[in-house]
Amino acid sequence: MRGFVSILCLFGLLSQDVARSCCAVSSAGIPAINADQTVILLWDKERQTEHFIRKASFRGQGDSVGFLVPSPSRPQLEESGNEAFPYLAQITAPPPS
């Protein structure tokens, strides 16, 4: 019986379709592609708040592009600058050969 349950669980895992967590959308049903992105995630332990800072570029033929990101509750949105991204690139760059 234990083997049968294991096989059923394995079958259930293998038969699942890929679920995408984010989605780029554009006007008039014209496809849009998330061409590039860099994300910085910061956790503020004191306030129990996650900061999601994102720099992204999109490719598409539409006039405008939107990006849907699921979140567990309504997020507080604010615009941020790009100043942190060059620093991130510097501290995460591989060492010179």
- Output the pTM of the full model: 0.60
- Give the pLDDT confidence of 52-84 residue by residue, as tens digits: 898 988 887 777 888 888 888 888 888 888 899
Is the pLDDT at 90 greater than 90, yes or no? yes
Cα separation of the two ends of the chain? 56
Each domain of the chain, given as residue ranges in start order, spans 19-71
CB 43 within 8 Å of CB 50: yes
- Give the pLDDT confidence of 1-51 residue by residue, as tens digits: 666 656 655 555 565 555 566 777 777 777 788 888 899 999 999 999 999
Burial class (CB in 10 A: 0-12, 13-18, 19+), 77: exposed
